[in-house]
Structure 1
């Protein structure tokens, strides 16, 4: 009996899961922007693609990090403004305040070391980069894993023990 090929994900569950988890980042930033600020020992390391569409900040700063940059929101950050699709914050670099605006879609990593909470995201496509062929094309079907278990990600490594 021949095994049927796996069904194609026409719902795009991976993209929906990424978007839902970015909602966690947005909610955490909203809590940090509230009048009480970050509670307890919480603080965030946020890594983002500096060349992603919508990222803005001083050219001299972004040119120092042409691919990726990590910022820390702990004690010295100002004017944190989490919006619907991006957040803005002022941080000091070399003693000078500089404002950054980062779309949530540009975030590749969100980490709160106080509770060992980590989220990693697929990097957005770089401007001008070719997109992978849609899953409906034969080349993508041949490269797709045949075992659905190959797509399962274990969250055990992020749980506090």
Structure 2
């Protein structure tokens, strides 16, 4: 069996490191200017933590928005914890980086999308990372296309 370079896994690690670095800066200094994030994550990830009623409402994936109100942002090497407001009900969430499907900052037309390819018997970790500025959040909210934010 020959050794190969796992570009997909390396790209995922680098992209998740970027998300961690951005969130660490926000935790220390707050969101600058018009920056805000749409973060879609897999609610079925074994390490994701969210209230039962949120899990029932979003059984597969959920998009959260970090913008005007958030609290208790704690960033670690594995993921981040945050308190967000859901209809005047603050809820704690924990999102592992491995659960993130999209990370979008529409204020600067930046987006990351993590795509998982069907796993083969040959390589159970065959994943492809995709940098995509046209990423739109999915699951229970308004769809925002970054095309609408582009300067023409």
TM-score bucket of the superposed structures, by smaller chain: 0.7 to 0.9
The residue that corresponds to 1:69 in the other structure is 62
Q: Distance in 1 between matches of 2:81 and 2:129?
A: 33
1:155/1:100 CA distance change after superposition, 3 Å: closer
The residue that corresponds to 2:120 in the other structure is 132
Q: Distance in 2 between matches of 1:79 and 1:124?
A: 34
State yes or no: 1:19 paired with 2:13.
Answer: yes
1:46-85 mapped onto 2 (5 Å cutoff):
46-85=39-78
Residues 106 and 124, structure 1, Cα contact 8 Å, conserved in 2: no
Over alpha carbons, which structure has the higher Rg? 1
Aligned residue pairs: how many? 134
- Normalising by the residue count of structure 1, what TM-score does the alignment of the two structures yield? 0.73
State yes or no: 1:86 paired with 2:74.
Answer: no
SS of equivalent to 2:107? coil
**Unmatched segments (≥5 aa) in structure 1:** 1-7, 126-130, 141-150
1:15/1:113 CA distance change after superposition, 3 Å: same
Q: Distance in 2 between matches of 1:122 and 1:97?
A: 30
1:31-80: CA deviations, max 9, x gaps?
A: 1111x301111111000000012001111111100011000001100000
**Unmatched segments (≥5 aa) in structure 2:** 135-145
1:48/1:156 CA distance change after superposition, 3 Å: closer
